[in-house]
Structure formats: structure tokens, C-alpha cells
Structure 1
Amino acid sequence: MFRALIGPDNGDATAAQLCARAIILFLLGIAYIRIAGRRTFSNASPLDIVVALVVGSNLSRAMTGKAPFWPALAATLLLVVLHRVFAMLTLRWGWLAKVMKAQPVTLVRDGVEDRKAMLWHGIGEADLRESLRLEQAETPGEVRLATLENSGKISVIRRASGAG
């Protein structure tokens, strides 16, 4: 009965069967994202982005019949659960967090830009200036610390008033 609902896995599903797959996968996709946790998409790390892309790709292939329905869902669920397990383990073991996540990088310290760090991480002068302006700082001289965070955002701590 379920096979009649979702159609064959060879790409020959009817429009109604593809719609049934879409509904099932929509609900399962939400469940998978709930299992993975909120961090999968907010302040995404490279690992989070890869997992999200693979989950989307797997669900898409299962929906269109380009991959067998149940095996594709099982593999996707395994990936989401592994992601969640590693996320929990990185909270427990700092060494694993360093392996799995990016580390914050100082771009400006006490008004002095670290051009080498900026070049290495692909942060141009315009990118840095934009981040400074968003924090109401016009120049690096007004900044005590600017850091490229794990999320890819540049955080800025301004110098105390009257400094620099």
C-alpha cells in the first residue's frame, strides 16, 4: 500500500506519487532538522553547511525517485544523528571541538590590523570596514578587538571612549 502511495524508485512516479513523497519528506525533513538541533542552520559552521546540503540533496533524490526511498531516508537520518552526536561530543571534549570547528581569528588588536590573518581568511579591507561600520567604528584605530568568529561574522569590541 505504501509503495502504491509513493511510487517506484526508478524515477517513474506519477505527479500524485511525487506530491505524496513531497509531503512525507517535508515532514521528515522538519523532524530531521529538529533532531540535528537549531545550530545546524544558525551560525552555521562548514560542517553544518555540508550536512545541510547533503540532507537536502538526499531528500530531493528520495522525492524524485532518483534514489530508493527508504534507504535514502535511513542514510539521511544516520547523517543527521551523527551530526548531533558529534555536536554533543564537541561540548564534552575540547580537542574534538578544535578538530570539528573553526577557531576564532583576531583581525584587529588595539587598533592594529593583522593583514596576514585577513589575507589567509579571505577578509578584504572592504569586508573589515563594513563590519567596523556596523559597530559604529570608522577605522581600526577605534577598535580594541575585531575577531572573525566561527560563524563567519566579524565581531567588534570598540576601544573605551577617549582611547586611540
Structure 2
Amino acid sequence: MDTLVKIFGQAGELNTIQMSCRGVVLFFIALVLIRISGRRSFGIRGPLDNIITILLGAILSRAVVGATPFVPVVVTGLVIVLLHRWISWLITSNDSIAKIVQGQKILLYQDGEFIERNMKRALLNHEDVMHAIRRSVLTEDMSRISKIYIERSGEITAVKKDD
């Protein structure tokens, strides 16, 4: 036990090497937790996925700096990851839950017109949308665009017209 205290220190009395050792251990614990959480937690970037990123970072950092005892931090991280995985499973099983948790895509542009009501609902202005179009479709020519959406993830996507 004394050896572990020398390596990892005790709360409030950590030196640089002890914090670094905690960081290394928590890196691997975080890797396991992220693998348990699943690929969607860092791929889709919806509200649910952003929550796990923020919470895991905030929770695990407390163990690195010794602000909270190590084991409760790891257990709390595991609980958050399992909750994320369970809600993700619910989303894939039930469209109503998916709409509540993730929202719906919003149509921003169709038939050559911006839908101002939806733009306000999405808290976007024309330049925000045009920026995304220039980046993703590589054009400013709106005559080539059929529809524009803001997806559940917050990403703005465009559907080209058929030639």
C-alpha cells in the first residue's frame, strides 16, 4: 500500500510525477470506458454524444488532480458510460425517444428559397448556411442545390439537384 501511495500520492499532496502516473492510468481507463461507450460517442456528435465527452473529461480529471478519491471517479465514469450506451440503445429501438433526445433535422432551404421560420428556429443566419455550403458542396451557386438541412448533430448538409 505504501508503494501505491508513493507512486500515485494522496489527495491534496500530489507532485508532478504522481499526477503524471495518475494521468497514465486514467488514460487507459478512459480508453476502456470509451470502447464500452461505443463508436457513436465520438463519431456522431449529437447532444447525447457531447454529454459523454464533457462528463467523462470532467469526472476523470478529478482523479488526476486528486480532488476526488480514485475508485469513486472510475465507478462514476463507468456509470455515465453505461447510461450513454443504454440511452443509445433506446434511441435505436424507439423513434419517439430518438426525437426527444436528439431532435429532428430541420429543412432550411427548398425550391430556391430559404425557410426563414426554420432558420430562426435553428438560430442560423444566411451566412452560417452559406459557409457550410461553400465548405461541403464547394459552391455558392444555389441553383445547384435542392435542399439544405441542419441535421440532428448540428451539421448543415445540402442535397444537390439532379442534373
Q: 116-125 vs 139-148, which deviates more?
A: 139-148
Q: Is the 8 A contact 1:137 1:143 kept in 2?
A: no
Question: 2:137 maps to which residue?
Answer: 135
1:156 aligns with 2:151: no
Q: How does 1:85-104 map to 2 (within 5 A)?
A: 85-104=86-105
Query: What is the aligned partner in structure 2 of residue 14 from structure 1?
Result: 15
Specify the alignment match of 2:40 in structure 1: 39
SS at match of 1:107: strand
Distance 2:80 2:105 in 1: 26
- Tell me the number of residue pairs that the alignment of Structure 1 and Structure 2 aligns: 160
Distance, in Å, in 2 between the alignment partners of 1:110 and 1:137 is: 17
Greater alpha carbon shift after TM alignment, 10-19 vs 123-132: 10-19
TM-score of the two chains, using structure 1 as the length reference: 0.89
C-alpha distance in structure 2 between counterparts of 1:7 and 1:119, whole Å? 52
Alignment of 1:48-59 (within 5 A): 48-59=49-60
Q: Name the SS of the counterpart of 2:43 in structure 1.
A: coil
Distance, in Å, in 2 between the alignment partners of 1:74 and 1:131 is 40
Q: Are 2:73 and 1:72 equivalent residues in the alignment?
A: yes
Give the structure-2-normalised TM-score.
0.90
Shift of 1:3: 4.3
Give the counterpart of 1:144 among 143, 146, 152: 146
Question: Shift of the alpha carbon at 1:98?
Answer: 1.1
Structure 2 unaligned blocks of 5 or more: none
* Cα offset, 1:27, TM superposition: 0.3
Larger mean CA deviation between 21-30 and 111-120 belongs to 111-120
8 Å contact kept, 1:142–1:158? yes
Q: How many angstroms apart in 2 are the aligned matches of 1:73 and 1:139?
A: 51
Uncovered stretches (5+) of structure 1, i.e. residues with no partner = none
1:118 aligned residue: 119
Distance 2:19 2:140 in 1: 54
What is the letter of the counterpart of residue 48 of structure 1? D
**Alpha-carbon distance between aligned partners in 2 of 1:86 and 1:50, rounded to the nearest angstrom:** 12
| Map of 2:82 onto structure 1 | 81
* SS of the residue 2:123 aligns to: coil
Could you say what secondary structure the match of 2:80 adopts?
helix
The residue type paired with residue 153 of structure 2 is S
Q: Deviations over 1:4-54 (max 9, x none)?
A: 23221x321233321221111000011111111121122311221122111
Other structure's SS at 1:12 match: coil
Looking at structure 2, the residues matched to 119 and 90 of structure 1 have their Cα atoms a distance apart, in angstroms, of 27
